[in-house]
Amino acid sequence: MLTLPDDLRGAFKDPMGPVYTDAERLLSEAGDPIVAVGDVVTYHLRVAGRDPDVAVIDGKTKREAVGAEIAAVLDGENRRIEVDNEPATLSTAMLDALVDALASDGPVVIYVTGEEDLATVPAIVAAPEGASVVYGQPDEGMVLVDVTPDSKRKAGELLGKLDGDTAAALAALGVDG
């Protein structure tokens, strides 16, 4: 549905919130529900005792398969939604899965064939105010984004800069485009 144009890649490099290296400290400041985007982030939150309400994972970190220890922690009994999402894109299936997972009563894992990196932006748009979206900042730590009217607006603006039918994407996320 949406693709990241090459000239916009830099806009996604800067953290959208504070960066943490301690999962317990991050969790003490996080809202509810928690959406985790990334295998290593999900691993650290689970090891710290908090299963994210929504975890978006692809079995990889930095384009390489996660190690056995991380994979073992990620393998669980949670409801699982499988989606295809090519690198540098946001598929309709990804957007639908985020909305479905956020509406679920229990923890949900969205398992992505392809790449989950851009899922942070629609997760912020779709999550309720008061939630937190946590994603990995390579070689730095975990970024905590509090879902507020301002963060939702900024994420919506970023989404709007992607190539494709952004109005349909926002509508799929429950937002008037």
- As a whole number of angstroms, the distance between CA 23 and CA 30 comes to 10
pTM for the complete prediction? 0.94
- pLDDT per residue, tens digit, the chain (177 aa), is 899 998 888 877 889 999 999 999 999 999 999 999 999 999 999 999 999 999 999 888 777 777 788 888 887 778 899 999 999 999 999 999 999 999 999 999 999 999 898 999 999 999 999 999 999 998 899 999 999 999 999 999 999 999 999 999 999 998 865
pLDDT at position 177 is 53
Distance, in Å, from the CA atom of 73 to the CA atom of 66, rounded to the nearest integer, reads 11
- 124-to-6, 7, 22, 133, 149 alpha-carbon distances in Å: 22, 22, 22, 6, 10
3-state secondary structure the chain: CEECCHHHHHHHCCCCCCEECCHHHHHHHCCCCEEEECHHHHHHHHHCCCCCCEEEECCEECCEECCHHHHHHHCCCCEEEEEEECCCEECHHHHHHHHHHHHCCCCEEEEEEECCHHHHHHHHHHCCCCCEEEEEECCCEEEEEECCHHHHHHHHHHHHCCEECHHHHHHHCCCCC
Residue numbers belonging to the annotated binding site: 39-41, 58, 60, 116, 139
Q: Which residues belong to the annotated binding site for GTP?
A: 39-41, 58, 60, 116, 139
pLDDT at 70: 85
pLDDT of residue 154: 93
Model pLDDT, residue 68: 82
pLDDT for residue 62: 74
| Cα 82 from Cα 50, distance rounded (Å) | 22
Q: Is the peptide bond before 33 cis (omega within 30 degrees of 0)?
A: yes
For residue 73, what pLDDT is reported? 85
Q: Say what the pLDDT of residue 80 is.
A: 92
Q: State how far the Cα of 114 lies from the Cα of 154, in Å rounded to an integer.
A: 25
Q: Would you state the structure tokens that stand for residue 96, as one six-digit string?
A: 């639908």
pLDDT, residue 117, reads 87
